[in-house]
Amino acid sequence: MTCFAKTTCVIAVVMLLTACTGIKRDTIPPEMSLSDVQLLGASLFEQQWQLTLRAHNPNAYPLKVRALDYEIFIEDKSFARGVSNEKIELPALGDTLVKTRVNTSLLEMISSFQTLNKANGEPVAYRIDGSALLGSMPVPLKFSYSGSTNLSDGKR
């Protein structure tokens, strides 16, 4: 096979794979922010939390999210890691709430909250780093969001 034929085959395969995903090449990853955090249960060694993430689609076309993998940082310290395989349909330029669960250990909690030397009512910075699998796309799109919350009244 000639070099031209090989190149043509590679281009054809790439175009076919891109067309099959239903995702445009310039797709902007969804934006994820914290909407709510609830403690579901706690034992001496582990705490279970329900996180409500607000997923925002900045694209002018809908996105089908088939999986999320993310890590939450509080004041730049890792708080929890979570995954979700819940299928999510994000409307074009719209939002959807996604509920997931994460577990933390007592030692992680103590370490995270010892560094929070904040006055009552002072905002606490958080960050969500992760990736989303969209449609049938084999490669996840990475996302990162930074925000703050006031721990005393639950406002984001």
In a domain, 96, yes or no: yes
In a domain, 17, yes or no: no
In a domain, 155, yes or no: no
Tens-place pLDDT, residues 25-56: 788 999 999 999 899 998 888 999 999 999 99
In a domain, 58, yes or no: yes
Cβ proximity of 89 and 96 under 8 Å = yes
The distance of Cα 118 from the centroid of its chain, to the nearest Å, equals 26
Full domain range(s) for residue 86: 24-149
Q: Domain of 96: which CATH number?
A: 2.60.40.1820
In a domain, 3, yes or no: no
Cβ proximity of 151 and 126 under 8 Å = no
Instruction: Look at residue 20 in the predicted model and tell me its pLDDT.
Output: 43
CA pair distance 43, 119, nearest whole angstrom: 28
CA pair distance 85, 75, nearest whole angstrom: 27
In a domain, 145, yes or no: yes
In a domain, 4, yes or no: no
In a domain, 122, yes or no: yes
Look at 12-16, 57-61, 75-79, 106-110 and tell me which has the smallest mean pLDDT. 12-16
Q: Which residue has the higher pLDDT, 60 or 136?
A: 60
Tens-place pLDDT, residues 8-19: 444 544 444 444
Count of domains observed in the chain? 1
Please give the model's pTM, rounded to 2 decimal places.
0.73
